[in-house]
Amino acid sequence: MGLILTREVGQVVEIGSPLGAPARVRVEAVTEKQVRLCIDAAPDVPINRGEYADEARARGLCEGEPFPPERFDLVDHLRAQHAWSQDTFGPGPMTARLLDHIRKECVEVEEKPSDILEWIDIAALALDGAMRAGANASEVAAAIAAKFAVVRSRKYPPIGSIPADQAVGHLKDLGELAGAEG
């Protein structure tokens, strides 16, 4: 094309992904090492931000890694993950299969506890299980928020009072709290 692009905020270029879906990419913000890209495409065009970012880098629109999106839409992600899982592994609960996989991932986390992707494997499998148990994406997202509210409302033993290799459970009443402190 012969088009020379710079890293200026507001710059827009139309590019295609390896899938051939055209989109407009706009430079939204720039730091010394990162560029935030805004990708605009038709609603029916699947967007793989990594592919568009690779193409934008190849065209000279940016260097380095793009910023992550400012907001991650969990419900949209869960819908896509569930559809992919159904298409790839088939329908149904698959509880035993998912639990077996989660156990294997737990071993991998024990071997590499600082590997975030091993932790995410467990989370993705648990979310898949929740969807396969009959919840829809919005219900799963609401359940995550509701469960966190319940967990935050509970009382727990003092920090450091439970051995590091044991789970910390919540205290069911104030009598347990007094016993844990003593």
Alpha carbon distance 72, 5 (integer Å): 28
What's the CA gap between 40 and 100, in Å, rounded? 40
Query: First and final CA of the chain: distance in angstroms?
Result: 75
1-35 residue pLDDT tens: 222 334 455 555 555 544 455 566 666 655 655 55
Break the chain into its structural domains and give their ranges: 12-66, 74-152
- DSSP-derived 3-state class of residue 65: strand
Structure confidence by residue, pLDDT tens digits, 41-91: 555 555 555 555 666 666 665 555 544 555 678 888 899 999 999 999 999
pLDDT at 110: 96
Q: Say what the pLDDT of residue 131 is.
A: 96
Note whether 57 and 63 are within 8 A (CB): yes
Q: Given the structure tokens 């298409």, which residue do they identify? A: 87
